Structure 1
């Protein structure tokens, strides 16, 4: 089962105006998603180059597992962005 997690900044120009605390949280976030990716728990992740949003497609056995993966992300825990998690179905992939 796949789920999509999104993170949207709470202020404009967030990518270029991050505080040192926010940069530290983003570092923890990247470590966390790299770990999940290596475990096969993430199908795809990325961010808009204009900073509008980031997304992660989780590969989970259940909605409960996806929720745990999502809620344990340092970015989600921090509350520095608006985050959401939804069931998702991958449509087309061009490799």
Structure 2
């Protein structure tokens, strides 16, 4: 099912918001990693920044696909992060 065309610009704007969020997450992670001792003590937590950045990027790409008129199930099938794809699939009530 495609969205009403009036939603497409909003999807594009939201995708850009997610990209900006990713940029800020990556910048913050880079600033924290400058302190080598801090980075070594908190490596697991710092890896979460990368996971969040990937999730933000996948969200932006998904919104781009929707803004181009791709139906939700087709756009969902292209999500590269398995857990994210499953959560979104569950939200749509679909099986992947």
What TM-score bracket applies, with the shorter chain setting the length? 0.3 to 0.5
- Structure ID, larger Rg: 2
In proportion to residue count, which structure has more strand?
1
In proportion to residue count, which structure has more helix?
2
With normalisation by structure 2, the TM-score equals 0.34
More relative contact order, 1 or 2 (CA 8 Å, 6+ apart): 1
